[in-house]
Structure 1
Amino acid sequence: MTEQGRRKRILGVLADRPFASVRDLVALLDVSPATVRRDLDKLHEAGEARKVFGGIALLGGAARTHALPFGENSDLAVDAKAAIAECAAALVQDGDMVIVASGSTCYQLGVLLSRRPVTIHTNSMPLAAMIGTAGVCQMVLSGGTLHREPGILYDHEDRAPDFNASRLFLGAQGLCPDGVMESHPLIVRTTRMMLERTDEVIVLADSRKLAIRARHLTCPVERISTVITDEGISTDDSAALREAGVRVVIAQAGARA
């Protein structure tokens, strides 16, 4: 396949979804990662798409998408999520009581915190299962019914958890200057309940999330103190968040890049 053919194929992928990882494109195009990265550089330079950490995204941040299942989402932007989780873990002190929400980046944070003397409240079944078998931290688990697609426990009586935390670590399907966005209605409801039980909200979102517009605003920007993201975030996106009063922390993947 020619270079022009590969670039056309990549743009075709972005017509169906807002982000494509280098790993996905290597498999699709049957070329080396270095070749894919050169193609992404040229698409970015030509203004046809936006290069982000781990892959390429649609321009303009106008994409709308359905939430991916936990298992599928866990395979995207793996290095960026690990770096973000490490930055977030450094903000937690031994003895802290924190809420770690559902989602693949929050799961990575939970893995790190599970080895420490902290108390974690979570509604994430994957995280709860991991802590239950391999963790040493204290865990408080949300009550309610298991919903397997988003991987959460949900109380249908819409009761806020009986737990007060210094920080809520929150994932995001999409992130914009207005705040965190989600499509799954149960995640929207559980997030709003968790917001009632925390002093500070820290959003963990890799730079792909700035290219996604989901259905519902679930956490307004004025409620967010910090966004931890990766070096793929654009200058404009970073400036918009800072103008809204949000501290932006860039996680450096270092050897993972």
Structure 2
Amino acid sequence: MIIVERHEKILALLEKRQQASVSELSALLLVSPATIRRDLADLENLGQVTRVHGGAVLSEQYASQMHEQTINEKQSLHQEEKRVIAQQAALQVRGGETIYLDAGTTTACLIPLLAQVVPKVTVVTNSVNHAAKLADLSVAVMVIGGSVKLATNAVIGSNAVQQIQQLQFDRSFLGINGVTAEAGLTTPDMEEAAMKRAVMAQSRKNYVLADASKIGAVNFVKVNDVNEAVLVTNQTDQSELEAIRKQTQVIISEA
């Protein structure tokens, strides 16, 4: 197991259990206590954990940044903005393509529009909810397998990333939590970031769907630089957007 993957597993475990001992982490990750102590020292230097006697807890700063709204909380936010962004994104699709559709409430607005594309598209998704809706509309769909993050219904984890790495997409449509020219594309969750990063590497063209509230926001984990995707947004009047335009294509959706 590589160091980065070990660090991700340690953070995920601490998020669930609040605190873990060196001996517990050593047994779960099948490495020596000395290796775990080095990992915890590295994570403490990054400000992600605080070491306590015999183990570690998440740092207060990291714990607060890890908080992400649930899919139910997000569902009612910026509904009209998400709808028009999805409409503009759907115009980029060509019949017969293989599309990756990320989990999320903005990407969900694409589902009925993808069902109208002729010839029919094939959709790969890491959302069990998206998959069910696509199947109901008779769209060919493949669901990535792995662990389901209950807050967002997104499939995540190393197995899911490995599956993505075996596939190729014509276009990907990704949700994101923050977009700035300097920090790039960011999200609160390390495992979701790893999924998005893997998808972008396997896609011929990437689109990030982000309503105006996401422009200028910075979250804990960087997914990629902004120039790795086309930005589709409803934002029109922010200086941050002009800085982003210097690095990548921006498609503006207006209601």
Give me the TM-score of the superposition, normalised by structure 1: 0.68
Q: Is the 8 A contact 2:88 2:253 kept in 1?
A: yes
Following superposition, the deviation at residue 88 of structure 1 comes to 0.5
Q: Is the 8 A contact 1:95 1:119 kept in 2?
A: yes
For residue 202 of structure 2, the aligned residue among 182, 185, 197 is 197
* Pair 1:68 & 2:76 matched: no
The CA RMSD over aligned residues, in Å, is 1.7
Following superposition, the deviation at residue 211 of structure 1 comes to 4.0
Q: Which residue matches 1:214? A: 219
For residue 168 of structure 1, the aligned residue among 144, 148, 172 is 172
Following superposition, the deviation at residue 150 of structure 1 comes to 2.0
Q: Unpaired segments of 5 or more residues in structure 2?
A: 1-64
Superposed, 1:44-63 pairs within 5 Å as: none
Q: Is the 8 A contact 2:66 2:189 kept in 1?
A: no
Identity of matched residues, %: 23
For residue 129 of structure 1, the aligned residue among 115, 118, 132 is 132
**Counterparts of 1:248 and 1:141, CA distance in 2:** 29
Following superposition, the deviation at residue 121 of structure 1 comes to 0.7
Following superposition, the deviation at residue 183 of structure 1 comes to 0.2
Q: Is the 8 A contact 2:99 2:122 kept in 1?
A: yes
Following superposition, the deviation at residue 160 of structure 1 comes to 4.1
For residue 227 of structure 1, the aligned residue among 224, 227, 231 is 231
- CA 1:143–1:195: 2 relative to 1, 3 Å: same
Amino acid at match of 2:147: T
* Pair 1:110 & 2:108 matched: no
**Counterparts of 1:229 and 1:211, CA distance in 2:** 12
Listed one character per residue, the Cα deviations across residues 32-78 of structure 1 (whole Å, up to 9, x for unaligned) are xxxxxxxxxxxxxxxxxxxxxxxxxxxxxxxx683211121111110
- CA 1:101–1:65: 2 relative to 1, 3 Å: same
Secondary structure of the residue aligned to 1:106 is: helix
Higher RCO, 1 vs 2 (CA within 8 Å, ≥6 residues apart): 1
For residue 181 of structure 1, the aligned residue among 181, 186, 192 is 186
**Counterparts of 1:190 and 1:65, CA distance in 2:** 16
Secondary structure of the residue aligned to 1:159 is: helix
